[in-house]
Amino acid sequence: MKLLWAPWRMEYIKSAVEEQPGCIFCEFPKQNNDQANLILYRSKKSFVIMNKFPYNNGHIMVVPFAHIGNILDVDDETFMDIHQTIKKSIQVLNSTVNPHGFNIGMNLGRVAGAGIEDHVHYHIVPRWNGDTNYMPVLSNTKVVSEALNATCKTLSAGFKELFG
């Protein structure tokens, strides 16, 4: 049997057991430490943040600043801002990591897979031809081929270049 070392996953495993106080989507933007918190871009009503435990390289999320747990409670101005930010995110991903496609969506409720169910957010997962393999099926393992901080630097530079 071959071993696949992924020591950074231990942080995820431990965090699944340890309840974190507060909402990271509310707390991180207030800290004004965007680099450490993996925040890539801020618009008027929403922000873009890297997924710390990505499904794929470049996995980002678009999140409203307002703490809203139900998509039906998002006002029209915030809804429009979120979707404009999704469009900008796709532009940045296209110009920096050149994916062949995207998965974009929300997980509403814990049963639907929401890790943070009290604060709505969209996931944007870049996809490439050939990026699928049998690792998730055979060993319940996903291979992410670039370090999170390296991807963060690339995407952050892309947002600055395209949107200031």
Instruction: Residue 131: name the closest of 161, 108, 103, 160 by CA.
Output: 103
- Determine, yes or no, domain membership for 154: yes
pLDDT digits (tens, 9 = 90+) for 110-164: 888 888 889 999 999 999 987 665 444 444 555 566 788 899 999 999 999 999 8
- Determine, yes or no, domain membership for 112: yes
- Determine, yes or no, domain membership for 96: yes
- Determine, yes or no, domain membership for 16: no
**25 against 142, higher pLDDT:** 25
Q: What is the pLDDT, as a whole number, of residue 138? A: 44
pLDDT digits (tens, 9 = 90+) for 48-91: 999 998 888 899 999 999 999 999 999 999 999 999 999 999 99
Residues spanned by the domain of 49: 21-163
Instruction: Residue 131: name the closest of 162, 89, 102 by CA.
Output: 102
- Determine, yes or no, domain membership for 145: yes
pTM score, whole prediction: 0.83
- Determine, yes or no, domain membership for 13: no
| Number of independent structural domains in the chain | 1
- Determine, yes or no, domain membership for 26: yes
What CATH number corresponds to the domain at position 27? 3.30.428.10
- Determine, yes or no, domain membership for 119: yes
Q: What is the pLDDT, as a whole number, of residue 118? A: 94
Q: What is the pLDDT, as a whole number, of residue 4? A: 56
Per-residue pLDDT band at 21 (split at 50, 70, 90): confident
